[in-house]
C-alpha cells in the first residue's frame, strides 16, 4: 500500500475487488458504445432487479389471493395472478432499478472512486460523463412512466410517489447508520404498487406485507454492506454493518424473524390455506440457513448469501399462490 497516495491502493485493489463482471451476456451482446450504460443500469447484475421486482409480485399475488379466497372480486376464477401484470412489473423493475442505480452513481461518483469495489464503475472511471449519465437517467424514467401508465390511477399515483424515496436514498448513508431502512422503504414500495393494481385502495394486509419487506431488506442489505465496511469506515460512509459490527448476526436474525411474522400475518388476514403455511416453513428454513452460514469477514460469502434472497422471495410468491390454491372456503 502506498501511504502517500491512498487512491493508488484503491486502483490496485479495484482490479480484483470490482463488482463489474468481466464476462456476462451484456459484455457479449452490447456494442462497446453501449456497455458503459449497461454497467450504469447494472444489466450484468440482475439480483437488484429481482429484489425490486419480487415485492411487486408479492403485492400483486396477495391481492389476487385475497380475491380468490373471498370469491367476490373480479379475478376469482384465475388460476394464477394476471400474467400481463407480472410481465409489466418485470419490465418496470428492470427499468427503474437501472434508473435508481444511475442516480446512485451520479450522486456517489466521488465516493465510488475511493472504494475498491466501485472504483471502475463508468462515471468514476471516466467512461460516461455526468451529462451523459443525466440524459440516460431521463430516458429510463420516461420508460418507467410509460409502463406505469398502463395501470389504474391509484397505482400510477403510488408508483410515481416512490421517486421521492429513490431520490433521497443515496444521501442516507451520509447522515445515518441506517440507510438500509430507507432502502427497505424504497425497494419494497412495489408491494403497494402490486396490491393497488387489483384493489382500489391499500388494505391492512398490504401495509403489513410492506412492513415485512422493510425488515427483510434490513437483513439482506446488512449482509451486503459487510463487503464494504472497511472502505466505508475510511471514507465516512455509514451502514448497519458498521453500526452492528461483529454483533450483526442477532440483529439480522431479528429482522428476518419480523419478516416471517409479518408475512404470516398478512397471509392469515387473506385467509390463505395450508399451502401458504407449508411454503412459509420453507422460507423460514432458507432465512435460518442465511443467518447460520453467513461469514461477515468473507466478502464472497456475504455476496452469495445476499443473492440467495431472490430464492427466498420467490418461495414467498409460491407460498401465496399455494395458499390461494389450497383455500378450503
Higher pLDDT, 170 or 57: 57
**257 to 177, 215, 254: CA distances (angstroms):** 21, 9, 5
pLDDT computed for residue 8 by the predictor: 47
Least confident of 25-29, 50-54, 91-95, 162-166: 25-29
pLDDT computed for residue 329 by the predictor: 62
Q: What confidence tens digit (pLDDT) does each residue in 7-66 have?
A: 445 455 545 555 666 667 777 788 888 888 998 899 888 999 999 999 999 999 999 988
**Three-class secondary structure assignment of the chain:** CCCCCHHHHHHHHHHHHCCCCCCCHHHHHCCCCCHHHHHHCCCCCCHHHHHHHHHHHHHHHHHHHHHHHHCCCCCCCCCCCCHHHHHHHHHHHHHHHHHHHHHHHHHCHHHHCCCCCCCCCHHHHCCCCHHHHHHHHHHHHHHHHHHHCCCCHHHHHHHHHHHHHHHHHHHHHHHCCCHHHHHHHHHCHHHHHHHHCCCCCCCHHHHHHHHHHHHHHHHHHHHHHCCCHHHHHHHCCCCHHHHHHHHHHHHHHHHHHHHHHHHHHHHHHCCCCHHHHHHHHHHHHHHHHHHHHCCCCCHHHHHHHHHCHHHHHHHHHHHHHHHHHCCCC
Query: Residues 83-107: what's their mean pLDDT?
Result: 94
Confidence bin at 221 (pLDDT 50/70/90): very high
What is the domain partition of the chain in residue ranges? 47-325
Confidence bin at 5 (pLDDT 50/70/90): very low
Query: Residues 305-325: what's their mean pLDDT?
Result: 95
Q: Has residue 279 got a pLDDT over 70? A: yes
pLDDT computed for residue 19 by the predictor: 62
Q: Has residue 320 got a pLDDT over 70? A: yes
Kindly report the pTM of this predicted structure: 0.88
Fold annotation for 47-325: Tetracycline Repressor; domain 2 (1.10.357)
Amino acid at each position: 500500500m502506498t501511504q502517500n497516495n491512498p487512491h493508488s491502493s484503491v486502483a490496485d485493489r479495484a482490479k480484483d475487488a470490482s463488482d463489474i463482471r468481466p464476462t456476462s451476456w451484456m459484455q457479449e451482446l452490447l456494442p462497446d458504445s453501449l456497455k458503459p450504460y449497461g454497467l450504469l443500469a447494472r444489466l450484468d447484475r440482475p439480483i437488484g432487479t429481482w429484489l425490486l421486482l419480487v415485492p411487486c409480485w408479492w403485492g400483486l399475488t396477495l391481492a389476487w389471493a385475497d380475491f380468490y379466497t373471498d370469491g367476490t372480486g373480479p379475478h376469482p376464477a384465475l388460476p394464477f395472478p394476471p400474467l400481463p401484470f407480472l410481465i409489466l412489473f418485470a419490465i418496470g423493475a428492470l427499468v427503474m432499478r437501472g434508473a435508481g442505480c444511475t442516480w446512485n452513481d451520479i450522486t456517489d461518483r466521488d465516493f465510488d472512486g475511493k472504494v475498491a469495489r466501485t472504483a471502475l464503475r463508468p462515471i468514476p472511471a471516466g467512461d460516461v460523463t455526468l451529462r451523459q449519465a443525466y440524459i440516460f437517467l431521463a430516458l429510463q424514467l420516461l420508460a418507467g412512466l410509460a409502463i406505469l401508465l398502463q395501470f389504474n390511477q391509484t397505482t400510477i399515483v403510488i408508483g410515481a410517489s416512490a421517486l421521492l424515496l429513490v431520490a433521497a436514498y443515496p444521501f442516507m448513508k451520509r447522515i445515518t447508520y441506517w440507510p438500509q431502512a430507507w432502502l427497505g422503504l424504497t425497494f419494497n414500495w412495489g408491494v403497494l404498487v402490486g396490491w393497488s393494481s387489483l384493489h382500489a385502495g391499500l388494505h391492512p394486509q398490504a401495509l403489513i406485507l410492506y412492513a415485512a419487506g422493510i425488515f427483510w431488506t434490513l437483513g439482506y442489505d446488512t449482509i451486503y454492506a459487510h463487503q464494504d465496511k472497511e472502505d466505508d469506515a475510511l471514507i465516512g460512509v455509514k451502514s448497519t454493518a458498521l453500526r452492528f459490527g461483529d454483533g450483526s448476526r442477532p440483529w439480522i436474525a431479528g429482522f428476518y424473524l419480523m419478516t416471517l411474522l409479518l408475512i404470516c400475518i398478512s397471509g392469515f388476514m387473506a385467509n390463505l390455506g395450508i399451502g401458504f403455511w407449508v411454503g412459509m416453513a420453507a422460507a423460514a428454513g432458507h432465512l435460518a440457513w442465511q443467518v447460520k452460514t453467513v461469514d461477515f469477514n468473507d466478502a464472497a460469502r456475504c455476496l452469495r448469501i445476499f443473492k440467495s434472497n431472490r430464492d427466498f422471495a420467490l418461495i414467498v410468491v409460491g407460498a401465496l399462490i399455494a395458499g390461494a390454491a389450497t383455500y378450503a372456503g
